[in-house]
């Protein structure tokens, strides 16, 4: 599997120049690195907040930054992102304010009220169910003749759900401009990838639905960018959907309520830690004299301050009980008006 997957930057930091996209300059790679570092720190902050009782249960993206930063860089302003619940990096890339991300994981619905020009659906908890929404978004674009693509994320576990099958099948029939990105991080809580499907790869499932599938090194931000760029071109030109299987690894526990040491082998984690998307970027950039420890430390200081500011803004946001009632319908029905009065008295 690992030998066949599409790769441009290997885990030692060697970049295959013959496959390098012309638009990906070293400056762009520095930018990718900075973004991944910021996302890793922003993600880690929530783990700390949860341990302190300042946030609820959280699903960390640690190790999966490249499979989110790369693809999002290939999208246009008008494209949609449909997340599952492990896409903090992708959401930030698409313009969701960090404060909003923190609000959500602190348990405030206003976190999902993204700005009017940000096309990111809320976190979806029921596994795989969001796949159909992404297909619907892009079907609407198709019908209304709007040039918009939707990208939906799900994990290896998600590919076992019926909605994955129904969504891919429907998208194939109508050739909708949908990009399906499976973050195959090898684990669905404690159930390993080989128990989700007997299929040799997840990417090949696209064949069954009549569209293009590709298995990519998910920790290679450049390959993830290129695969998504190709998928965007495919969708734009009416050639239909793409399934991208990002082979990566969930470095953290499933959520803050899980303990991966109960079911995972230290050797496996060590293998994948060496393949961390950030380490290979540091190695490449260092070879080009574009990275050193001082640079990283300076970034960490700057990012720390930004993160603290976002946490403070989120924690200063008050939750109103009115909000529980006011958004069920466009016009509040009589029984809810009565209940709201009663419950608030």
Partner 1 sequence: MAKLIMVEALNLALKQEMQKDKTVVCFGEDVGKNGGVFRVTDQLQKLYGEDRCFDTPLAESAIAGTAIGMAINGLKPVAEIQFEGFSYLTMNQMFAHGARIRNRSRGRFTCPMTLRFPFSGGIRALEHHGESPEAFFAHVPGLKVVIPSTPYEAKGLLISAIRDPDPVIFMEPKRVYRAIREEVPEEEYAIPIGKARIVQEGTDVTLIAWGAMVRECLEANAMFQQKNISAEIIDLRTISPWDYETVLQSVQKTGRCVVVHEAQKTCGFGAEISATIMEKALYSLKAPVIRVTAPDIQVPLLKLESFYIPDEHKIVAGVEQAMAG
Can you read off the two tokens belonging to residue 62?
Answer: 């640690």
Q: Which of 33, 38, 58, 80 binds partner 1 (CB under 8 A)?
A: 80
The reply to whether 28 sits near partner 1 by the rule CB under 8 A is no
Per the residue annotation, which of 76, 263, 302, 327 is the catalytic one?
263
CB of 31 to partner 1, least distance (A): 29
Q: Which stretch binds partner 1 (CB under 8 A): 54-62, 122-130, 188-196, 304-312?
A: 122-130
Q: Are 148 and 142 in contact (CB under 8 A)?
A: no
How far apart are CB 77 and partner 1 at their closest, in Å? 15
Residue 250 annotated among the catalytic residues of the structure: yes
Query: Residue 126 interacts with partner 1 (CB under 8 A)?
Result: yes
In the region spanning residues 295 to 314, those forming contacts with partner 1, defined by CB under 8 A, are none
If binding is defined by CB under 8 A, does position 216 make contact with partner 1?
Answer: no
3-state secondary structure 86-127: CCHHHHHHCCCCHHHHHHHHCCCHHHHCCCCCCCECCCCCCC
Decide: is 107 part of the binding site for partner 1 (CB under 8 A): no
CB 156 within 8 A of CB 182: yes
Bridging pattern class, strands 242-247 and 178-184: parallel
Residue 153 annotated as catalytic: no
CB atoms inside a 10 Å sphere around CB 107? 11
Closest distance between partner 1 and the C-beta of residue 134, in Å? 6
Burial of 228: CB neighbours in 10 Å, binned 0-12, 13-18, 19+: buried
**Listed residue (152, 204, 160) closest to 182, CA to CA:** 152
Using CB under 8 A, list all residues that contact partner 1: 80, 109-110, 112-114, 116, 121-122, 124, 126, 129, 131-144, 146, 148, 150, 162-163, 166-167, 169-170, 173, 323, 327-330, 333-336
Catalytic residue numbers read 250, 254, 263
């Amino acid at each position: 599997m690992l030998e066949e997957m599409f790769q441009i930057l290997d885990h030692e930091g060697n970049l295959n120049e013959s496959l390098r996209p012309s638009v990906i300059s070293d400056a762009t790679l520095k930018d990718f690195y900075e973004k991944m570092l910021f996302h890793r720190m922003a993600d880690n902050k929530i783990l700390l907040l949860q341990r302190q009782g300042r946030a609820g249960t959280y699903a960390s993206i640690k190790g999966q930054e490249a499979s989110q930063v790369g693809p999002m860089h290939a999208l246009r302003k008008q494209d949609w992102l449909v997340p599952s619940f492990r896409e903090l990096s992708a959401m930030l890339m698409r313009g969701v304010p960090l404060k909003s991300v923190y609000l959500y994981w602190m348990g405030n619905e206003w976190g999902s009220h993204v700005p009017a020009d940000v096309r990111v659906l809320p976190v979806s908890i029921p596994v795989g169910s969001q796949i159909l929404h992404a297909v619907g978004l892009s079907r609407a674009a198709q019908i209304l003749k709007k040039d918009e693509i939707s990208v939906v994320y799900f994990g290896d576990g998600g590919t076992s759900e019926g909605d994955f099958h129904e969504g891919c099948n429907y998208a194939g029939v109508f050739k909708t401009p949908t990009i399906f990105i499976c973050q195959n991080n090898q684990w669905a809580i404690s159930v390993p990838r080989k128990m989700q499907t007997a299929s040799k790869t997840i990417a090949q499932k696209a064949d069954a639905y009549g569209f293009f599938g590709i298995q990519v090194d998910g920790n290679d931000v450049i390959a993830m960018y290129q695969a998504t760029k190709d998928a965007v071109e495919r969708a734009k030109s009416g050639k239909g959907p793409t399934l991208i299987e990002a082979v990566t690894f969930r470095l953290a526990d499933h959520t803050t309520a899980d303990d991966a040491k109960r079911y995972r082998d230290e050797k496996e984690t060590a293998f994948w830690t060496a393949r961390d998307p950030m380490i290979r970027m540091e190695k490449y950039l260092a070879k080009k004299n574009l990275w050193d420890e001082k640079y990283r430390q300076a970034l960490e200081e700057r990012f720390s301050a930004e993160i603290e500011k976002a946490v403070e803004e989120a924690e200063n946001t008050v939750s109103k009980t009115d909000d529980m009632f006011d958004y069920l319908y466009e016009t509040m029905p009589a029984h809810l008006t009565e209940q709201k009065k009663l419950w608030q008295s």
